[in-house]
Structure 1
């Protein structure tokens, strides 16, 4: 795994070389959907406003015109129906990609995702699989109402049979979404909407998927490991840049697939640095960060030279926009956590 992580660091660092146009994450998602539908007639898109309007964030714009209404389907405002229909399609050989308009609306679909999609392979002893992708914009930072700003990825990471994937850049969004679509089992693909359009990268439409279940090493360092995913990678890299000016060299790990975890890359990084800060937007209680901290406590205790620190959201409902910045972890919070961890000795 360590060799793979080293290779991945090259393609994950935001390299803008090549002749491909620089595009945003939401455009990279659209590009991956277009590529998947070109390559496989079994790929079907469905969800609220995904066809005629191209989605709330325009992730599916132009796809109805290219592939028609039989493959890009506007549904009623009924998440329970969307998930149930997608599970049925997947069980019968199609490859549905169902969009839940905002992650805060995903709860009516939990019955089908948890009780059927995640269990279908096990329930049928491998006779049936469920090649289903559930896409959902998630997270705060865009001044949306509370139900549009939640980070509840830990709910799905707890469910056996589900993969949970969160991209943090246009390049990784393209490659990871293609991998999710080609995967024979259900994938929850969570798109951090705060960075939908905040960064442009050159993305070649080469149909090349990135590996699932693998962390990406975005920056190598020997002093401390910063472990994060999704939109918080932006602040994590900013913190690493500022700390480098003070002579503190951070290793930055993008978890990318939060379930199942790439335990080997995380353990190898902390084994090298001896210090760790875990950064995420979701509340700290019962979080994926808690699981990573538990992993380090049980399998890397003798490598650690200080307690593992966590920087995350508060254990409260996401506030309205006036207090949103006070809720969201900031670059300064990460820097403070790093310095406290390094001063422990």
Structure 2
């Protein structure tokens, strides 16, 4: 198998193979430059062969008698740039990478040709039927001056990671066929990092009980970091109060009657937080003033009533402010 791999990849002659690695046995020789070999779980061997000075790229299966056959068929290996009837969407234009995926398919990366629509694609061949049954066109997710040249998959086989010659890494959702854009990572890059910072602001340590105020995306993700309980159940199960409280609401808090009450959350946090505990404020507490973007901004007072005596007597600490997400999610920048 080692000899097969070595010779198939490089197409070396017998003397050179012996010179490079004595003991290797030449099992076959190839007339075309071969870029890579992929071996299926049942031992089938597939070779990707790029352009030579005169021949188009092709994919072949290496048979047991060391002969090859075009794979998956002649049609897919028939591209001719000089023939206007040659269809770049259904032929290999430039095979730049290939491998067996976790789903058992033989996947080929066709980097295509700049300016040739539909030529850049990811092609999946079903090894049971020897037919293309998965096809993703990539023109819309790559820069006009670059191309795709390789692929890897996650363990489930539903996400493909494609390397770009410009240095980018593109992520393809193979269920929807769409590129996973930066916005899809918002929960990781911003919202989750903000929720995590709320725990840090409160002084959280492993084993601490925590109350999270607010069921916004930030509050829900803060809850994933630590299982919270509502105020009433907190007082039932934690009669001396919780160790940490996190505000994920801010100035826009409302009371049980759904009336705007700016200080209800921060007062409740002081009430339920135990002696020596900590409070983290990541809800927004800046009074914006009225503008075209915040027409009711003036209803937010820049000051609120605060139970300073209880806060002082309990020896509580509090940290607040806008969150810098980069320490928690470096890729967000």
Smaller-chain TM-score bracket: under 0.3
Structure 2-normalised TM-score? 0.27
> Which structure's residues are more often strand, by fraction?
2
> Which structure's residues are more often helix, by fraction?
1
Structure of higher CA gyration radius: 2
